[in-house]
Amino acid sequence: MRAVNALAARWAGEVRADGNSVFSAAGVWPLLAFLTDGAEGAAREELADALGLAADQAAGAARELLGLLECAEGVEAALGLWTARTVELEEAWAAGLPAEAHGVLTGDAEADRAALDAWAAKRTGGRIGRMPVRLDRDGSLVLATASALRTDWEEPFTGDIGAWTGGRPTGEDVAGLRRTTTDLDAVGVARAPGGAVTEARVRGTNGLDVHLLLGEERMTPGQVLEAGAEILGGRLTAVPGGRLPLGVAGPGVCVARQRVREPAPPSVVLAAMEFELTSEHDFLTHRDLFGLVTATDGRPGHFPGISRAPLGLRSARQTATAVFSAEGFRATAVTAAEAVWLSAEELPYETTVVRAAFDRPFGFLAVHRASGLVLTAGWVSEPKVWREEDYGWPEEGDGTPVVF
């Protein structure tokens, strides 16, 4: 899983600060691995370098990754291959693909488009209804992966209008989320080379977690997301909330002693934002990153291990979505304020409160807890606009096709 996370960290370095972004290295990695297995020469070497794995290990590692995703609760993953009838696959390469992964391109662009779109929609729970490929008579092979994630929070948020200081140009209210937990380890602050980064871990009930990442304002999205990957991999240590000093302890984090009416344990108050993201990625705009320089040079013959047909890689794209939300709507803010306003006497007890506010552009990693695999990552510069009727469950899907 280190190789997949390493690709995610490198991809994070390409994320721009002026817009939302979501991407899945776990979605593209097995696809690149199967291409590597069928490539030769410089194309094979470049693809293996992008994978971070020896070429002769690529197909086996891809099957292992797909197997992990298939067994993971809350994750649906699939790989599909469609070929024209004129393309005869090499038996050894085709045998390494998952069972029932192979379909046929009929040459009828409309019918083939409908079949591929239906496949993408089914594999992502309807989140992605269109396969990001161009189908015409020249298309002879489509290789695609798709995945969908779904989890419910162990400790749900409540929703209300949020305070966003990220400079959203529309001036609209944004959908805020808030929850209080006694798990002080849910928030931590790390010192990365580019600056301090606050990490808040939101645990799902099925072994999927989302790590929210807020860096210093001068940091780039790549620096923040790479720091999150370093924390996840144990190469960077985050000081947990229970050990943070009083006062401003990190980006968005303040630790204070607070008077309370009854004895209460230390707590973390996490304020975050809902987001709904959709991104389209053209891997050919970052050919070096994905090892596709030689493979897309317009010359056929780079993939003799796939087929003796003169295949040339024409496009490689991904569509990814992510939704981070809370169920329902709550009207407890006025009640809480009223209770504070009515408290005239000095409260007899004191407790520690760690407040973490993700109220400006931040990053996130969706992680399979047991393996540490980063399933999806992204950057939020514009959260969801607040609407009273819109509160759902977190969900994510991505589809990654390659067309020859």
**Per-position DSSP letters for 222-270, written without gaps between them:** HHHHHHHHHHHTTSSPEEEGGGPPSEEEETTEEEEEEEESS----EEEE
pLDDT (0 to 100) of residue 393: 44
Window from 84-98, 132-146, 236-250 with minimum mean pLDDT: 132-146
CA distance 35 to 103: 17
CA distance 243 to 168: 34
CA distance 17 to 50: 24
Mean pLDDT over 338-362 rounds to: 64
Mean pLDDT over 2-20 rounds to: 91
| pLDDT classification of 340: cutoffs 50, 70, 90 | very low
pLDDT above 90 for 289: yes
* Partners of residue 401 on adjacent β-strands: 144
End-to-end CA distance of the chain: 28
pLDDT (0 to 100) of residue 390: 56
Which is more confident, 167 or 271?
271
pLDDT (0 to 100) of residue 139: 64
| pLDDT classification of 388: cutoffs 50, 70, 90 | low
pLDDT (0 to 100) of residue 345: 45
pLDDT (0 to 100) of residue 134: 73
Mean pLDDT over 143-167 rounds to: 81
Tokens 């805020």 found at: 176
pLDDT (0 to 100) of residue 334: 17
Q: Looking at the chain, how many residues does it have? A: 404
Mean pLDDT over 182-206 rounds to: 94
pLDDT above 70 for 349: no
The winner for highest mean pLDDT among 26-35, 218-227, 300-309 is 218-227
* pLDDT digits 0-9 by tens, 229-257: 999 999 999 999 999 999 999 999 999 98
Cβ-count burial 304-340 (b if 16+ within 10 Å, e if not): bbbbebebbbbbbbbbbbbbbbbeeeeeeeeeeeeee
Tokens 């929210």 found at: 212
pLDDT (0 to 100) of residue 221: 95
Q: Give which of 95, 105, 9 is closest to 50, Cα–Cα.
A: 9
Q: Which two tokens stand for residue 188?
A: 């931590």
pLDDT (0 to 100) of residue 61: 94
Which is more confident, 333 or 386?
386
pLDDT (0 to 100) of residue 326: 59
Q: Which two tokens stand for residue 150?
A: 């779904």
pLDDT (0 to 100) of residue 59: 92
What is the DSSP track for 78-140?
EEEEEEETTPPBPHHHHHTSPTT-EEEE-S-HHHHHHHHHHHHHHHTTTS--S-S---STT--
Percent of the chain with pLDDT over 90: 38
pLDDT above 60 for 64: yes
| pLDDT classification of 260: cutoffs 50, 70, 90 | confident
Confirm if 196 and 251 have CB atoms less than 8 A apart.
Answer: yes
Q: Give which of 44, 75, 41 is closest to 58, Cα–Cα.
A: 44
Helices (H), 254-322: 287-290
Give the chain's domains with CATH numbers: 2-150+279-322 (3.30.497.10), 158-274+324-395 (2.30.39.10)
What distances in angstroms separate CA 388 from CA 135, 136, 270, 327, 333, one per listed residue?
41, 44, 21, 11, 14
| pLDDT classification of 99: cutoffs 50, 70, 90 | confident
CA distance 4 to 375: 9
pLDDT above 80 for 168: no
Window from 7-11, 170-174, 294-298, 395-399 with minimum mean pLDDT: 395-399
Mean pLDDT over 183-189 rounds to: 94
125 Cβ neighbours under 8 A, 6+ residues apart: 76, 148, 150, 395, 397
Confirm if 197 and 189 have CB atoms less than 8 A apart.
Answer: yes
Mean pLDDT over 278-288 rounds to: 87
> What's this model's pTM, rounded to 2 decimal places?
0.87
**Which one-letter amino acid corresponds to residue 229?**
A
pLDDT (0 to 100) of residue 399: 56
